[in-house]
Amino acid sequence: HRAAGLDLTFERGALLLGHYHATRLTGTEKVMDRLLGGAMERSLDIGIYPVAIGSHQMFINTHSNTERGIFVPSPKAVIVAGLGDEGKLRAADLVQTVRQAVIAWAQRLAEGAGKGRRATVRTFELASTLLGSGGTGISPGEAARLVAEGVYQANVRITEENEERGSSSVGAPRVAQLRFVELYLDRATDAWRSLRLQQAARPGRYVVDDVVEEGTGALQRPLDLGYRGAEFDFISVAATTDPAGLPVISYTLDTRRARSEVRAQRAQSLLIKELVAAASNDLDHDDQI
């Protein structure tokens, strides 16, 4: 496992990223869509883009970025895994959606990337963003730990399937190296620390690099006070009570300017009940209601 600060357009292998439910592409997805000639946005527009947990879609890159001196399509492919609705992603959901996406890509490689020939490669390298950490509720460290767990579970399932088939057939390859790619050093360092703790907690399962590798285009930290991968703000609403026991509506704002800003507004529940009771009577013709 590696946690690196790097411009994604220089990544050579397949790149795994996540998609929260949204009507347009933003952040990393928007950048990758431009490299793929708009293939991802077209998929989103026609309603087949992965949204639900466990869903995924693979986009093979056939475009070379000659303006930047990259004559081989980079990344080789973009694998999009569905993350569901932002704010509702659970740890188990992230592990599951990563596992299914990795297994699907391994099967694609085993089929010769759709060219009708069996692959002889036994292992492959995979690059991944810190899935889910661009939204609310998932930190970079937690994202790295859960993605690593999803890849590990995919490897276990692939190995079991290959053993069931026996040596008579060429099975799907396993992930030999997982490379986390992050533009900002502080987020990459958070991911690296989490992976090192995971390595200590489960000896023999992971081998994590000793340092964070600095790649092309790496930045120290986001310019804004907080970090958000999407261009739009996310607002969550919850009904609670204040110390006096009165109902309160709490608004949590996750923005590019401030992280998890909370505002509370006292709910006028009695007035609302009276208005609903009056308005629901079809004999009442009060224009003010």
Secondary structure, 3-state, the chain: CEEEECCHHHCCCEEEEEECCCCCCCHHHHHHHHHCCCHHHHHHHCCCCCCCCCCEEEEECCCCCHHHCCCCCCCCEEEEEECCCCCCCCHHHHHHHHHHHHHHHHHHHHCCCCCCCCCCCCEEEEEECCCCCCCCCCCHHHHHHHHHHHHHHHHHHHHHHHHHHCCCCCCCCEEEEEEEEECEHHHHHHHHHHHHHHHHHCCCCCCCCCCCEECCCCECCCCCCCCCCCCCCEEEEEEEECCCCCEEEEEEEECCCCCCEEEEEECCHHHHHHHHHHHCCCCCCCCCC
pLDDT value at residue 69? 57
Sign of CA dihedral 122, 128, 130, 131: negative
pLDDT value at residue 113? 45
pLDDT value at residue 145? 96
pLDDT value at residue 57? 96
pLDDT value at residue 159? 92
pLDDT value at residue 23? 82
If the chain, 289 residues long, is cut into consecutive pieces of 10 residues, what is the mean pLDDT of each piece? 56 89 86 90 94 95 67 83 91 96 94 56 90 84 96 95 73 92 89 94 91 82 64 78 80 66 70 80 68
pLDDT value at residue 97? 97
pLDDT value at residue 114? 46
